[in-house]
Amino acid sequence: MIKKTLDEKAFQLLKEKMDKGLFPQWVLTDPDIYELEKENIFGRTWQFLAHESELKEPGDYVTRWMVNDPVIVSKNREGEIKAFLNSCSHRGVHLCTADRGNKKTFTCPYHGWSYNLEGELIGIVAGNKVYGGEMDKGDWGLREIPQIASYQGMIFGNLDKDAISLEDYLGEMKWYLDLMLGRSDGGMEVRGLPQRWVAKANWKATAENFAADPYHVQTTHRSTVEMGISPEDPLYAGYGHQVVMENGHGINVITSKTGKARVPFQATPESMWPMFEKNLTPEQLDIQSRVTVFVGGMYPNLSFVSPIHGTEGHLHNYLNFRLWRPIGPDKVEVWCWFMIDKSAPEEYKEAAYRGYLGSFGPTGTLEVDDTENWARIVEVSSGLMARDKHLNYNSINNYLMGFERVEPDSNFQGPGTAYPTTYIDAIARSMHEQWFKLISEGVMMKEEIV
């Protein structure tokens, strides 16, 4: 097997820039860097696969991707979640191409081998005549994804059997996931299928846009101000805290200028508030009562946004998870899940879903604005002059807009390092540091045979 690593010279050049907080633009679209990322980042970090509410009954399955590895995620008869490489053991055919369904067996369209919900090979067409009694079916089951685990209903997989546990990987982020996913009785549920589309973009830029960059909101999404959906104040998305956590995770807790609630409990129905009081700690409850938007991400490529959406009198809150599946250095397949409290009133869920479609769905106003910028980044990043051009992470030493030094706020109630503004590059820098750490681990030769 060829193990890809960064060569020593490239490592030194990159390190020099990264140490100064500069991010070279060429790495956004470089094909060699992309190959390294596939192996060193996506080959050993936890990738989101599905939410448990997508797999209700035994036999329910969904098909997903871990970058280039197709995956079947299914529920077996005992109610356990399993994840297999979606590739037949005989000639490797992509076994199941439906988005989701319910099955007892998966049958290959090529020669008809079939597998049960445990991934075991159970049927071979004309088996005895073709293979005689020699073949041990037990050797030819589907390959299991080396590790799968769930947290708050979110199912993740890891292609590295030696990777740290999901809980350790999420670390401090669990506190915020408990808040967003565990606030109401029954937790969150996915409504409909995840929508997906291909965007001209690099996964690092899309992940950073969501997890680390409320600063873009007032310009990119200016039209929402003009429509009266967002406030006029250009700092409106900057109030609150940006919280940096280990392993490249981060969250922005956006509030109002005064820190008080613009609308209590993110415009959820009042009937749900007692559940929040019951399920959350006092610190989590306080944040939930005042927050306008949670937006953040789990490194490397899962982001989320939980906004208040709509106009006065018709406000709703929902939770949108999105996975940036890289399908090339300059393309991502966006997977977009709409989630809502299972215990919310049905009419509220429906209205929130419509609000989501008009905002962060594939044709939503906010989504379209962002997509345009991501395409513009990749269009210009592989030019010759981009080779020694570096991107501006304005607050390299935590300077806000280059002037005022911002210290962490020790009074913030949640875990992580919290800065008292979200117009800061603290999460972006931490994501890039994590990126560099992962791609450069094991720097040796460009290609090492192992």
Binding footprint of ligand FES on the chain (CB under 6 A): 88, 90-91, 93, 108, 110-113
Residue 94 DSSP label: B
Tell me whether residue 33 or residue 95 sits nearer to ligand FES (CB atom). 95
Q: How far is the CB of 427 from ligand FES (least distance, A)?
A: 44
193 binds, among ligand FES, Fe ion, none (CB under 5 to 8 A by kind): none
Q: How far is the CB of 143 from Fe ion (least distance, A)?
A: 38
Nearest to 419 by CA among 216, 198, 221, 250: 250
370 binds, among Fe ion, ligand FES, none (CB under 5 to 8 A by kind): Fe ion
User: Rule CB under 5 A: which residues touch Fe ion?
Assistant: 370
Helix axes of 365-380 and 346-359: crossing angle, nearest 10 degrees: 30
Cα 251 → chain centroid: 12
Catalytic residue ranges: 111, 213, 216, 221, 370
Rounded CA-CA distance 307/316 in Å is 8
Residue 71, judged by CB atoms within 10 A of its CB (0-12, 13-18, 19+), counts as buried
Q: How far is the CB of 125 from ligand FES (least distance, A)?
A: 8
Nearest to 435 by CA among 151, 64, 30: 30
How far, CA to CA in Å, does 168 sit from each of 46, 173, 360?
11, 10, 30
How far, CA to CA in Å, does 431 sit from each of 127, 205, 386, 437?
51, 11, 21, 10
Tell me whether residue 44 or residue 111 sits nearer to ligand FES (CB atom). 111
**Which two structure tokens, joined as six digits, stand for 155?**
């199912």
Rounded CA-CA distance 431/412 in Å is 21
Tell me whether residue 113 or residue 318 sits nearer to ligand FES (CB atom). 113
196 binds, among Fe ion, ligand FES, none (CB under 5 to 8 A by kind): none
Asked if residue 366 lies in contact with residue 224, where contact means CB atoms within 8 angstroms, the answer is yes
Q: How far is the CB of 68 from ligand FES (least distance, A)?
A: 18
Q: How far is the CB of 94 from ligand FES (least distance, A)?
A: 10
Rounded CA-CA distance 417/413 in Å is 11
131 binds, among ligand FES, Fe ion, none (CB under 5 to 8 A by kind): none
Rounded CA-CA distance 240/294 in Å is 10
Q: How far is the CB of 370 from Fe ion (least distance, A)?
A: 4
Asked if residue 336 lies in contact with residue 192, where contact means CB atoms within 8 angstroms, the answer is no
Nearest to 320 by CA among 357, 284, 289: 357
Q: How far is the CB of 360 from Fe ion (least distance, A)?
A: 9
| Segment (H or E) for 428 | helix 426-440
Q: How far is the CB of 179 from ligand FES (least distance, A)?
A: 45
Could you give the angle at the alpha carbon of 187 between the alpha carbons of 183 and 188, nearest 5°?
110
| Segment (H or E) for 75 | strand 69-75
**Which two structure tokens, joined as six digits, stand for 341?**
């409290």
Tell me whether residue 20 or residue 143 sits nearer to ligand FES (CB atom). 143
Nearest to 188 by CA among 278, 79, 306, 270: 306
Tell me whether residue 86 or residue 218 sits nearer to Fe ion (CB atom). 218
Rounded CA-CA distance 134/437 in Å is 49
Nearest to 144 by CA among 73, 218, 54: 73
93 binds, among ligand FES, Fe ion, none (CB under 5 to 8 A by kind): ligand FES
163 binds, among Fe ion, ligand FES, none (CB under 5 to 8 A by kind): none
Tell me whether residue 110 or residue 131 sits nearer to ligand FES (CB atom). 110
Tell me whether residue 348 or residue 360 sits nearer to Fe ion (CB atom). 360
Tell me whether residue 98 or residue 368 sits nearer to ligand FES (CB atom). 98
